[in-house]
Amino acid sequence: MNAPVLQVDSLHIHYQTLAGMVKAVNGVSFNLYKGERLGLVGESGSGKSTTALAIIRMLEGPARIIDGAINLSGTNLLALSDDEMRAVRFDRVSMVPQGAMNSLNPVMRIREQIRDIYEAHGKLPKRSELDGKIAHLLTRVGLKPEVAGMFPHELSGGMKQRVCIAMAIALQPQVILADEPTSALDVVVQRQVMETLGNVQQELGAAVILVGHDMGLMAQFVDRIGVMYAGRLVELASVEQIFKAPQHPYTQQLIGSIPNLEQKKLFKGIPGTAPSLLDPPSGCPFHPRCSEAFEPCTLDVPPLRETAPSCWVACHLYEKVVSHDHPA
Amino acid sequence: MTILLEANHAGKTFTTGGFFKRSEAYALRDFSLAIDDEKPIVTAIAGESGSGKTTLARLLLGVIAPSIGTVRYKGVDVHTMKRDQWREFRQDVQAIYQDPFEVYNPFYRVDHVLTTPVAKFKLARNAAEAQELIESTLNKVGLRPEETLGRYPHQLSGGQRQRIMIARALLLRPKIIIADEPVSMVDASLRATILESLLKLHEEFGISLIYITHDLTTAYQLCRDINILYRGAVVETGDVEQVIKQPQHPYTQLLVGSIPLPDPNRRWGDETVDQARRADVPDTGCLFADRCPWLMPACQNAPPPLYQTSPARATACYVYEDEAKATTKSEAEAVLSGEVS
């Protein structure tokens, strides 16, 4: 593949709480290539949203980036000042948030909210061109130009989510982060919104990171999947590989727990619960729930290793087939 | 054979607007269902947000009164029940709600939601017996009592909390459980476990299950029958295999076609889903007419009845009028109650 637009390198994020340090992200590294769609999956608390928020530097309050680097085509985002980062948001990396209903300003018309983006980045077009530009933006996400004059409460959930997509692509960023963009929508609208996001992403040639836990949606949308568990990437491979031949025991159980429409069978959940991030288990974080755990699993954290071309797994079971040690 | 819970052409309208612009919004139209004591059912009510799913649950639970039609339990209208009948109804018909976070009072230990029904319905003679009953019920839903009792809600995961709610429902030895989106707020890996515990209740204790959801995949896995709701009306009903595998109503087809299948080799087709509602279609006929690809003149005049298109399925669409003879009232009800399948 071509050169990566985004490189995340051994990212560590901790949350300071009264009970102690919550180790939310523990050494996540991956590359995102131009025009690629990458999915980050995992159960709640696996660190997938925290990773996405770190990329756009929107972590707040108790969260602290302890270590690591985030490189957006040559710029280390973690080294930027707040003002410099403000200029990068929307312009080079943007986010489609989870709850579109809560991310739009209820007392501003859509036109004003889109105008704000241009203005904040000093890219406000001439008054005569602005309306046409906004209308074009809305048409691209499948909305009528009249939506510009409306308030958020006049729009349905799916329409609001499309407005958020329109805002995210207004300045043609290289990377779009989408954190469960359709979790509040029903299936028909979900499909429409995802197709809209896919179309504009292709037109722009931007890369997308889709964060979520709906494996069905991942199968429909992304090219590669990164599976997260307890703040670590445990597997990173193409979507076909993940669904056809998952390697990590957690991924295998995750795939096994997906209900399908092929046949009626009792699908199995994953036994046990996710580990506490305050006091994570020693060694591989999955070993207490893993049916194939053996001695080294309780002692050492397995690094992410390439076991087959472009197929990365962090599991002691695959120790012997190691070829490289640095994630792609 | 006794009919336990029975909805008879039940509907609910809500009045919206104020003094000047008063209008009626139909949340549910003409819904019928009957649950037989001897033939427990597992039925799904599926539809998008705003299709009337939760209104239906609240009607069946007796929380709200129907605007038209009736909801009866053992032949008695739920809203004119005497005190002891109401008490029996409240014990026999149990609810499991969507949000396992909001149903708990954060100041009480989780034991509270289990000891209260035991005391209220006098399920045990003394404290030791109550404790034993609670512990055995927790075991039945796959929880270890020593890990759950004595804790506060925030100390438990969403999946554990939801299973305590199932245990609470089971404690009362109900005949019917109405579960309103019980897994939508739970992690995907735990969904299977929770649905498994629900299905076990049906298989082991003969409890009828009404599973309300927007997720057709879990409905297919869990249920025998399904009712697809669109804007408050049942558009297709019957055997889940037939409805999901060969959907007949254009809305069901749209819904099934939009399910994100967990298979990267079978992605959504290239055809874009028509979102725009045609404004020129009057609201007098079929509710789906303004989005329907098969729109015919007949669709705009009156809403279509449920046509019996096969012994185990009925579809409310004029396209199937010739294929199937129009159902008589009793036949339609038989399908709705799952008797045919």
ipTM of the complex: 0.80
- Chain B contact residues (CB < 8 Å to A): 48-49, 157-160, 187-194, 196, 199, 214, 216-218, 220-221, 241, 244-245, 254-255, 258-265, 267-268, 272-273, 275
* Alpha helices, H only, A14-95: 48-55, 82-88
Residues of B in contact with A221 (CB under 8 A): 260
Reduced to 3 states (helix: H, G, I; strand: E, B; else coil), residue B31 is strand
- Per-residue DSSP letter, B17: S
- What is the mean pLDDT of the segment spanning B105-126? 92
Higher pLDDT, B249 or A279: B249
Are the C-beta atoms of A88 and A56 separated by less than 8 Å? no
- Choose, out of B226, B263, B265, the residue to mutate when testing the contact with A (most A CBs < 10 Å): B263
* Alpha helices, H only, A141-228: 157-169, 187-204, 215-221
Search chain B and give the residue with CA nearest A238: B264
**Cα torsion angle, A76, A81, A84, A86, sign:** positive
Residues of B in contact with A265 (CB under 8 A): 221
| Fold category of A4-321 in CATH | Rossmann fold (3.40.50)
* pLDDT tens sequence across B250-280: 999 989 988 888 888 888 875 555 556 677 7
Residues of B in contact with A267 (CB under 8 A): 192, 221
CA A77-A78-A79 angle, 5° bins: 90
C-alpha to C-alpha distance for A319 and A301, rounded to whole angstroms: 12
Cβ separation of B263 and A243 shorter than 8 Å? yes
Beta-sheet strand order (sheet of B76-77): B23-36, B3-16, B68-73, B76-77
Cβ separation of B221 and A240 shorter than 8 Å? no
Amino acid sitting at position B168: R
What's CA A281's distance to the chain center, in Å?
26
| Count of C-beta atoms within a 10 Å radius of residue A209 | 26
C-alpha to C-alpha distance for B182 and B188, rounded to whole angstroms: 12
CB pairs below 8 Å between A and B: how many? 121
* Alpha-carbon distance A319 to nearest alpha carbon in chain B (angstroms): 27
Amino acid sitting at position B113: V
* pLDDT tens sequence across B173-205: 999 999 998 887 777 767 888 888 888 889 999
Are the C-beta atoms of A315 and A247 separated by less than 8 Å? yes
Domain boundaries, chain A: 4-321
Cβ separation of A257 and B188 shorter than 8 Å? yes
pLDDT at B341 over 50: no
pLDDT per 10-residue tile (average), chain A, 328 residues: 87 90 93 95 88 92 91 93 94 88 89 94 91 92 91 88 92 94 82 90 94 91 95 95 94 86 73 81 91 90 91 89 51
Q: Which of A200, A142, A218 is nearest to B272 (CA)?
A: A142
* Alpha-carbon distance B160 to nearest alpha carbon in chain A (angstroms): 9
Dihedral class, residue B112 (left if φ above 0, else alpha if ψ from -120 to 50, else beta): alpha
